[in-house]
Amino acid sequence: MPISSRMKVSPNDVDLPDLFRQAMSEVALAVHVLSTCGPAGEGAMTASSVCSVSLVPPTLLACVSHSSRMNAKLKENGLACVNTLAVEHIDVAEACANLKGKSGNEELKSSNWVRGDGFSCPFLRSAIFSCEGRIHSVSEVATHTVFFIEVQTIRAGLPQADPLIWHRRGFSSATGC
Ligand SMILES: Cc1cc2nc3c(=O)[nH]c(=O)nc-3n(C[C@H](O)[C@H](O)[C@H](O)COP(=O)(O)O)c2cc1C
């Protein structure tokens, strides 16, 4: 069913989750890769549900599906790094979403990823920026866990780069107009 600005919606006459999915696909979102490391091992996943929460202390949130392998890893490791992607990182986004046959763990073995330089988790060398911190709390909401990450380390990799955008179920650029 197409989205109409005049459509009246009640839970009884439409498939509400389907309509919600369509509505959310109209929202343009920046694309990030969450990386982690620790006792549960390294991991990486593509995530668009990332946003800033607080400036002092610097805090981000990320929503991660219970069905994702990264969910348990993040909880056990207690550490996450948000790597914000540029348009040139479509391959990284696809790998870390387990699209096109490559996995996040395979992607982490590539030379795109650096260990050290003040970070505990692997970070993407050419990310627009990478923000790493401790997971100070989580909140379980239906199918997802909301992770609150208190940022302790920030690195600007490509601060002037064109950000990678997820919009209408596809990748695009933010500076196309
Ligand atoms: C652009 C894009 C954004 C995504 N955002 C999220 C997200 O915010 N949260 C989430 O749980 N999954 C998100 N996904 C799906 C995960 O990246 C995907 O399920 C991945 O396979 C999880 O990997 P894992 O099971 O190895 O942890 C997104 C996928 C794409 C392509």
Which is the CATH superfamily of the domain at 30-165? Electron Transport, Fmn-binding Protein; Chain A (2.30.110.10)
- Cβ–ligand 1 contact at 61 (below 6 Å): no
pTM for this model (two decimals): 0.93
**Distance from residue 4's CA to the centre of ligand 1 (Å):** 28
**Distance from residue 30's CA to the centre of ligand 1 (Å):** 13
How many angstroms separate the CA atoms of 151 and 54, rounded? 10
Q: Where are the domains of the chain?
A: 30-165
The DSSP letter of residue 40 is T
Nearest CA to ligand 1 atom 9: 64
Nearest CA to ligand 1 atom 1: 166
Note the pLDDT tens digit of each residue in 109-168. 999 999 999 999 999 999 999 999 999 999 999 999 999 999 999 999 987 899 999 999
Note the pLDDT tens digit of each residue in 1-59. 455 555 555 556 679 999 999 999 999 999 999 999 999 999 999 999 999 999 999 99
